[in-house]
Amino acid sequence: MVITKSFLSGSLFTLFGAGTVLMAQNYAMGTAGRMGPGYFPTLVGALIILLGVAQIIRAILSPNKSEPIAEWELRPLFFLLTAVVVFAVTMSKFGLIPAVVALIVIARLAAREGNLLELAAMVAALTAGAVLVFVYLLNIPLKLGI
Amino acid sequence: MDVLGNLILGFSVALSATNLFYCLLGVTLGTFIGVLPGVGPLVTIAVLLPMTFTLPPEGAMIMLAGIYYGAAYGGSTTAILVNLPGEASSVVTAIDGYQMARKGRAGAALAIAAIGSLIAGCIGTVLIAMFAPPLSELALQFGAPEYFSLMLMALILSASLVHGSLLQGITMALLGVVVGLIGIDVNSGAYRFTFGILGLVEGVEFSVVAMGLFAFAIIVVNLGQTTAGREVFTSSVSGLMPTRNDMKRTWKPILRGTAIGSILGILPGAGQTIASFASYMTEKRLSRTPGEFGHGAIEGVAGPESANNAAAQTAFIPTLTLGIPATPTMALLLGALLIQGITPGPQVIDQHPELFWGLIASMFIGNVILVLLNLPLVGIWVAMLKIPYRWLYPIILVLSCVGIYSVNHSALDVSLAALFGLLGYIFVKLDCEPAPFILGIVLGPMIEENLRRAMLLSRGDPMIFVRHPISAAFLLVACVVLVALVLPSVRRTKDEVIVSESDG
């Protein structure tokens, strides 16, 4: 059988719902009249499982209604998310300037076009722009990092 | 005080030089970011939000209102010129607007969109000024059951209007509800779903999710696509002013769209989207040449754009009077209010009259500035569409990342945005619409809170939601929508409209 988008999303929903219900068991349940912190998440999680399973069944019964996933854009996905996380770490450890430089350079690897000169120009312009807008114009106290 | 006196108070606030400047700045920045392909109004506002945090409350709200209009109009520009609707409500604009652009009438389409928006915006603002105060009186009588049912209805409406299956839409909303529960439980003090991470105790910042889900995920998808294949009609934007014939054809659709939008906008959940679809269907049905629709009928731009804008306007009514965000965009604006130390709700009008009426007055001014700014500047926005994507996405990235960081000075927030970017990417790949998810995050905690309170009142009897008449009415609307969508004929119409949009 072909794994379609709706089969996959149904499965992910079911897993998510199951995780929610399981985790919610660590919190006090209470009663309907006096709900504890676990009551509502359990309820919602159970509903998610129910709807997820319904979607799986529908996907199996009529597989033609949904198509399989075409392709994953793994390269841009990886570099873009890495760039953002590296920005986060650099920003809090060092400061704005190195963080923005790292962000642009790594994010640039996500696209294959453009040359080094263009990259340098972009780094210079955007770093200056970020400092100008956020630190000087908006007066947000961010450390610069140099 | 009467409405007129209040409006004078509002204008005296909004027309101060500084506030006028903030409004102008907001409109300009909003259009500037909003016009970027793949950046919808939600992301535009999320990106620009931190810029308002250092302003005084009135200035911040006025600038935000400006950003809001600018972003919406920027979104329509992209929809018309590039056929890339930034959000569900401008999807309809793209159908005929893009066809007009292909025929060299992009200028007229853009101008009609602006004029329609202006008229609808002004009428919508008058409606807010008239109806928000009495509605907030009514809202003061709402108890937990009413709030619960209202929000449940909002969630179901937004879930049922996305494209794809109803089942999937509702599940997405529920996933959002669970994510919204992350953090400390106010009733018991229990830490829920925090995975032992201290930074999650306060919950997930909504703008962080929006940024990851919309900005980052969309960038990844766009980068993966080959750059060729998308026609941008930029050279043909000339003859900006609509002809006399255009005006003659469109003044009725504009007024009808405004009426439809004003009424539907008050519905929390998906007022704007339904409004623009409803207006399109109405114009198509009333038209003597329905065959023109889909091939560049100017009525198909004027009506939905007006409806969209009127709904965007009246959506402020539940947001300001009930403190319930009708759309994710409204949720961002509410968040901004909270940061300014103002808790939205029925008491805002009484406690902060200068803020409330100042905001209303600045809506007028924002609408006027929008038209004044955009008719002459449309050439610049169009030129921006020619900028290659590889230059645009780093700008969006830097603005988003520094913006998120500067809200709480938290590296965790930025990393969370990356995580939601991954999640958003998976959603895109699985054809799961993120809109109900995001509304679920916003409404989830409020739904739980009111459910608990109502059930406490009734000692565990769920019939309380049916016994309170207003609550029962909300639930009835939700049920009618659910049942209607299960009926094959209605579902087919919905699919027809929504499919034609995504292919067209």
Same domain, A53 and A83: no
CA angle B309, B386, A96 (to 5 degrees): 85
- Using a CB-CB distance cutoff of 8 angstroms, which residues of chain B are in contact with residue A37? 185, 187-188, 190, 192
Q: Tokens 């009525």 label which residue?
A: B299
The residue among A19, A47, A65 that closes a domain is A65
Name every residue whose Cβ is closer than 8 Å to that of residue B8 and which is 6 or more positions away in sequence: none
User: Which residue has tokens 């004027």?
Assistant: B302
By C-alpha distance, the chain A residue nearest B394 is A104
Asked whether residue A143 is assigned to any structural domain, the reply reads no
**Domain end position, chosen among A33, A65, A97:** A65
pLDDT band at A31 (very low <50, low <70, confident <90, very high): confident
CA distance to partner chain A, nearest, from residue B39 (Å): 17
Give pTM, 2 decimals: 0.83
State the distance between the two ends of chain A, measured CA to CA, in whole angstroms: 58
CB atoms A55 and B168 under 8 Å? yes
Residues A58 and A80 reside in one and the same domain: no
Enter the tokens of residue B269: 């959940």
- Judged by a CB distance cut-off of 8 A, whether residue B226 touches chain A is no
CA distance B421 to chain A (A): 7
Same domain, A84 and A131: yes
Partner A contacted by B177 (CB < 8 A): yes
Write the pLDDT tens digit of every residue in A36-46. Answer: 899 999 999 99
Residue A145 in domain? no
Q: What is the pLDDT of residues B418-465, one digit of tens each?
A: 999 999 999 988 888 888 888 888 888 889 999 999 999 888 888 899
Helices (H) and strands (E) in chain A, counts: 5, 0
Does residue A85 sit in the same domain as residue A56?
A: no
Inter-chain residue contact A32 with B460, CB threshold 8 Å = yes
Residues A82, A108 within the same domain: yes
* Closest residue in chain B to residue A44, using alpha carbons only: B174
**The predicted structure's pLDDT at residue A52:** 94
For A54-76, the pLDDT digits (tens) are 999 988 887 777 777 777 888 88
Domains: count for chain A: 2
Rounded distance between C-alpha atoms, residue B407 and residue B402, angstroms: 9
- Going from the C-alpha of B443 to that of each of B186, B254, B269, the distances in angstroms are 15, 33, 10
Give the span between the Cα atoms of B413 and B409, in whole angstroms. 8
List the domain range (segments joined by +) for residue A99: 74-137
Residue A91 shares a structural domain with residue A113: yes
Q: Do A130 and B398 touch (CB under 8 A)?
A: yes
Q: Answer whether B92's CB lies under 8 Å from B393's CB.
A: no
Mean pLDDT comparison of B65-74, B162-171, B461-470, B491-500, highest-scoring range: B461-470
CB-nearest to B406 from A47, A72, A134 is A134
Domain co-membership, A96 together with A133 = yes
For B88-125, the pLDDT digits (tens) are 677 788 888 888 887 778 788 888 888 888 888 888 88
Judge if A95 and A44 occupy the same domain: no
Query: For the segment B254-291, what is each residue's pLDDT rounded down to a tens digit?
Result: 888 898 888 888 877 666 777 888 888 888 888 777 77
- Token representation of residue B91: 């999807």
Tell me what ipTM this predicted complex has.
0.92
Last residue of a domain, one of A65, A86, A109: A65
Q: Which pLDDT tens digit goes with each residue over B277-334? A: 888 888 888 877 777 887 878 888 888 889 888 888 888 888 878 878 777 788 888 7
